[in-house]
Amino acid sequence: MNFEDFIKENAGHAHHRALKEFYYQLISDALRITKGNNTKAAELLGLNRETMRKWRDVAGVEYD
C-alpha cells in the first residue's frame, strides 16, 4: 500500500493525523534546507521526485 492509499484508508483516525503532521514537518524541513528545491529535498529524504510530490500534496505542504 502506498502512502496516499494509506492516508485515504485511515482518514479520521488519530494515527492518520499524527502521520500527516510528521510528513508535513519532514517535507517542510527538507524544502527549507534545500531552499525550496523539490529535487534536492527528495534526494535528501531518499525519495524519487514523484514520490516527494505525492507526499507533499497529501501532507498539504505548500510550495512555490
| 3 — pLDDT class (breaks 50, 70, 90) | confident
Rounded to whole angstroms, what are the CA distances from 36 to 2, 14, 22, 59?
24, 29, 18, 16
Task: Report, as an integer, the average pLDDT of 10-27.
Answer: 80
pLDDT for 11 equals: 66
What is the C-alpha separation between 43 and 39, in angstroms, rounded?
6
Task: Report, as an integer, the average pLDDT of 11-22.
Answer: 76
Is the confidence at residue 10, as pLDDT, over 80?
A: no
So where are the chain's domains? 3-59
Name residue 40's amino acid.
K
Q: Angle at CA 49, nearest 5°, toward 15 and 23?
A: 20
| 30 — pLDDT class (breaks 50, 70, 90) | very high
Is the confidence at residue 48, as pLDDT, over 90?
A: yes
Specify whether the CB–CB gap between 4 and 43 falls below 8 A.
no
